Structure formats: C-alpha cells, structure tokens
Amino acid sequence: MRGQDHPGLKRLRTPLAGALLGGMLVLACGAIYAQNAPQIVPRITGAPSPMGDVPAPALARPVIDDKRVMRNYPEQPPVIPHSIDNYQLTLKTNRCLDCHRRQFTEGSGAPMISVTHFMDRDGQVLADVTPRRYFCTGCHVQQTDAQPLVPSTFKDMLLVGSEKK
C-alpha cells in the first residue's frame, strides 16, 4: 500500500499518542485533586450535594417600628423602616410617593425624598421625580430581622480613625 513505509507516519503517530496519554493523565490528576482539594470558599447556603433538596428558609420579618436607622456611610440610601407588602410600583403608580412626595410630607409625617431625586443626569432640577429615580426599591431596601449570612467586620469611618494602635 501506498504510504506504509513512509518515514513521517511513525513520527506523526507518536506525538498524537503522547498528547492523548498526557491529556488523560491531566484529567485523572484533576479529578483526584478536585476530590481532595481544600474548600477555599465556605458554603453559605444550599445543599451539600449539587442536586440535593434544601427546605426554603422562613422569610425574614420586616421591621415595622418606623424608626430611622443610622446610615453606615455617606451617600448610603436609607433603608425603608416600614412594611411595603402590597405596595404597587409600576410605570403609572408609585405608592411610596403618596407619603414621601414633597406636597404630602406634612400630612403623612414621612421624610421628603431627597432633592437629588428631582435632578436629571445633566443636573437640571425637574418639577417631579426623575424617571431614573422613580423605582425606589432599586436602591432602598426594606429593613428586616434577617441575620447576616457571613460575619461583618465593618467599622464606621469615625471609629477607624480613633482606634488606639
């Protein structure tokens, strides 16, 4: 047959077989390492096995004491200190504005929304809430009694500078 005694044919088979054998070796070593590798990221939630069932945790209860909570850093959006269950927030209706819009704050006792919510992206002040600030829950979250998933080492910037070393 043609090419049976071709000298380059043997050389072609040897690197190909070596690459195949090397690939299988890498896969086998990777599988062994994956089973015995230390878990660097601790598991926060979910089942130990990838497809295992985990009962859904109870929903955190909203804090409804209406107390304003101190912010952790400048420019942090304030949290919502009351229940917002069944609040309608659509293109045509925003129930938050029924109390927090400037003209309704005196009657409701709610704080007025920030003047920044009336500015468009060019800094022009509008007569009403700018469309990019209309959906309140994009930045503001309801305060709940949920426990943190991971411990926090956050320190207020005023406390960081006053610590003794």
Q: What is the pLDDT of residues 21-54, one digit of tens each?
A: 666 766 666 667 666 666 666 667 777 787 888 8
Helix (H, G, I), strand (E, B) or coil at 98: helix
Percent of the chain with pLDDT over 70: 71
> CA 14, CA 122: separation in Å to the nearest integer?
67
Q: What is the pLDDT of residues 40-98, one digit of tens each?
A: 666 677 777 878 888 887 888 888 888 888 888 888 899 998 888 888 889 889 999 99
Mean pLDDT of 90-114: 91
- Please name the CATH architecture into which domain 61-146 falls: Orthogonal Bundle (1.10)
Residue 122, pLDDT > 80, answer yes
> Residue 100 contacts by C-beta under 8 Å, 6 or more apart in sequence?
108, 110, 111, 112, 113
The more confidently predicted of residues 144 and 31 is 144
Per-domain residue ranges for the chain? 7-39, 61-146
**Residue 66 pLDDT:** 80
pTM: 0.59
**Residue 23 pLDDT:** 66
**Residue 12 pLDDT:** 47
> CA 100, CA 74: separation in Å to the nearest integer?
21
CB atoms within 10 A of CB 102: 13
> CA 125, CA 38: separation in Å to the nearest integer?
55
